[in-house]
Amino acid sequence: MGNLELTTACEFLNQGKLVAYPTEAVWGFGCDPYIEEAVHRILEIKQRPVGKGLILVAAGLTQIAELTKDLSVDQLDF
């Protein structure tokens, strides 16, 4: 991915849009996890119930601290 594509992807994420990216086997969808509408769009596209959750990719635990602050110790045990 070149600088232009990376800049465009970042702009899309900041605007609440989705991005598609390759993984080992299939294409994945990404969004800003702090934009609830974007997360719900991914759930809708994947036809996935809200209660089933999604995978969150982060550089480290500090990056997702705000998203995990209300989880129990059992929920954080991974």
pLDDT digits (tens, 9 = 90+) for 31-71: 999 999 999 999 999 999 998 989 888 888 888 888 888 88
What pLDDT shows up at residue 40?
96
Q: How far is CA 43 from CA 3, 7, 18, 34, 53, in A?
A: 29, 25, 12, 14, 8
What's the pLDDT tens digit per position in 1-32?
788 999 999 999 999 999 999 999 999 999 99
Enumerate domains of the chain plus CATH numbers. Answer: 3-76 (3.90.870.10)
Dist CA 53 CA 56 (whole Å) = 9
